[in-house]
A and B are shown apart, each in its own frame.
Chain A
């Protein structure tokens, strides 16, 4: 158990490793200031870097061998005692200065470089050995990044990995399965400044000291000056002017803000955009306040919500502008500030409007991904979160169950913490989503932070930016991912929802409304709990592309291509691999970017293309071919010449077009000599028996005419005319012998006179 755990742990570490320090650290200003990592990794300390090499398994994996291998070690300068390493050294001609057995078939090797050979070239040389499964640099690792932000440990439980230990923690609910493991994710990347996340919201307070330098100028898209609350309509200032509603405004008769607060009440300013922005990207590791999920991505505030929300016409324009589209009478957003991710923590109950669907689809073609909150109405997912292509986010409690207020439904992509308070009878709201805000009740006053007592922060509005932040990390790690790939990998990486066998556990979430906590399912709360660590690791994987001709016929020479496949930023392609995983076929190449094969005549073949990067990360795609099989029924028939018919049923299996065409003796549709056949398979025999008397009816696939099936048809002569027997009467039963009765003779007899008619005929007539 211990060995397997270790294997898993080490293999994971290897698979996850950025092979080279320069690849992970990025340009100045984008490295993680918390880690204080030297620019030279451990593998490069000293005069000869080390590598971890795993040799292909000999088929034994028991603990004894694993432990034995661990014991194999040599002093520097000596030959390795391990036979596999010794053989490798002899075969490759590499001068191994140091070898130490690790786990299983893995060894730490330090190799003297050849003159002018780089460490990367050395690695490639080792990888080219057929017995080497992988070879990676022995990288230096650092403790998980823990930001110095003062509120991180107490207010930002949702970013952490382990148990909540903040003030007032209830030991009975001290775990937090829905926390997104950002702390581990930051070991793999903290985001780049080239990625922009747009916050379509109430604007942002750029004066907040924990946001300032992360913010781009943005724009105010609110057309109605009363909604904007800043004295004018659209302008270039995206600052949040406050969205408070007075009691008078709320209770006015048919006023612009009537009913915008609880009856006879007022509403304080929410500083909603500032709260959302702090979750995505509050200044990190600055020994102050909170940390953002991304540490370097930039935030583009596009103000579209004001007093009592905002209108679609402004929100859609803000979405378009942030992505780089032109909006009439608004200066274009500079290309350097075009958003990669757009966060919409807004909505209302309605089917997806066509206007949103249109702009979301347009943005997807531009590589811009839209994230939206599912809604707080504990019912169907709101618009625009319910639009196709939008990453809809449901709200989770710290335990991973759906938080009561969150809307739910099949449109949800993933769940993320939405804030929940636990202490229903007073006391702190333990699982508030800590972020930046302001204490002004109307206009802005002091820039502060949300807390667990006076300024709690809950709502699916805050689930969405958690996912936007994760997508920002993913897009930073791998800029080649399309919106569809980002969504797919986000969902694949989600942690499955916890399921409890405890009879007191919350019930399963229904497909209809529920304002109660419930146990999530994939059809109600999305693929699972958003997981930043898994997501960025998945984003770092290469992106396989596999193209093949279509359709393909049996016997055709098919070229499969991996051209267009890419690896994450800062990484290189290590290998291509083509494998026949089902069926049998001969590939012209197994390690090039293209390969060819002959499509088989029968059965199914599955060819897998795998791209591996220099860190051992992989992505695979399969190409499957199923030989078309044609059937015909019946396969034999006997048809009488002179108009006899037989219906055949032909069909092509494994074909996109199941249709067939018919031929008789190779003649499409047949002819008068061998018989004819209709497009529906109705065969009609010729007038006379052909020679030979047996013909072949063939059904051929419309898609691939070389795929056929045949039936044999024997043409028989029509029966010869017969006369009634002279000494025996015809059967009176009307059965098969009835046809032999010679009616003409009978009529003649009747005409000649009854008196001469025989007795049997009279009896017959009387019957």
Chain B
């Protein structure tokens, strides 16, 4: 996350130099890419070690981080993607299509009835 912001800032700074800093500072802030985040419950055949998470991150195009292992083969992951909510959903779909992934659900809120 921090690395990403540094890169973004660097890009903006370089861009600013190239464009002679024509834009006001407020516009610089708006140009920062938006991020979407979700907590997802993922069913996997094997425990999600660092290598598997890295591979699934590549497949999904989103950053994945293990929050905790739940019961059985379920794991609670944080999913972060660049873009709006639709990009997070698209990343979920890409994750679902991986043969090592049995299911992906949003960690939804339930209420008393």
Contact = CB atoms under 8 A, between A and B. Distances in A.
A311 B113 contact: no
Contacts of B76: 313
B25 interface: no
A326 B71 contact: yes
Nearest to A350: B108
A562 interface: no
Contacts of B107: 311-313
7 contacts: A270-B112, A305-B112, A327-B70, A329-B68, A345-B112, A347-B110, A461-B113
Given A354-B103, A355-B43, A317 B70 contact: yes
A646 B69 CA distance: 67
Given A354-B103, A355-B103, A328 B112 contact: no
Contacts of A348: 108-111
Given A311-B107, A353-B41, A327 B71 contact: yes
Nearest to B102: A354
Contact of A320 (B71, B105, B109, B113): B71
A313 B41 contact: yes
B4 interface: no
A460 interface: yes
B108 A312 contact: yes
A373 B103 CA distance: 24
A312 B105 CA distance: 9
Interface residues of B, number: 24
A369 B49 CA distance: 33
A362 B72 contact: yes
A690 interface: no
A627 to B, nearest CB: 44
A514 B104 CA distance: 32
Interface string A297-316: 00000000100111111011
A384 B113 CA distance: 12
Contacts of A308: 109, 111
A325 B108 CA distance: 22
B41 A309 contact: no
A382 B108 CA distance: 12
A138 to B, nearest CB: 48
Nearest to B112: A272
Interface of A: 201-202, 223, 243, 270, 272, 305, 308-313, 315-317, 320-321, 325-329, 345-348, 350, 353-356, 358-359, 362, 373, 375-376, 382-384, 459-461
Interface in B64-113: 67-74, 76, 102-113
A346 B112 contact: yes
Nearest to A354: B103
Contacts of B68: 223, 313, 328-329
A414 B113 CA distance: 17
A353 B112 contact: no
A202 B70 contact: no
A373 B113 CA distance: 7
Contact of B110 (A243, A311, A326): A311
Nearest to B77: A313
A724 to B, nearest CB: 77
B39 interface: yes
A240 B62 CA distance: 37
Given A312-B41, A345-B113, A354-B43, A328 B108 contact: no
B72 to A, nearest CB: 6
B63 to A, nearest CB: 19
Nearest to A270: B112
Contacts of A347: 110-111, 113
A223 B43 CA distance: 20
A325 B111 contact: no
A459 B71 contact: no
Contact of A353 (B39, B71, B73, B108): B108
B71 A321 contact: yes
Given A243-B112, A459-B113, 17 more contacts: A201-B112, A202-B112, A223-B68, A305-B110, A305-B111, A309-B111, A312-B108, A316-B70, A320-B70, A325-B72, A345-B113, A346-B110, A353-B103, A353-B108, A355-B105, A358-B43, A359-B74
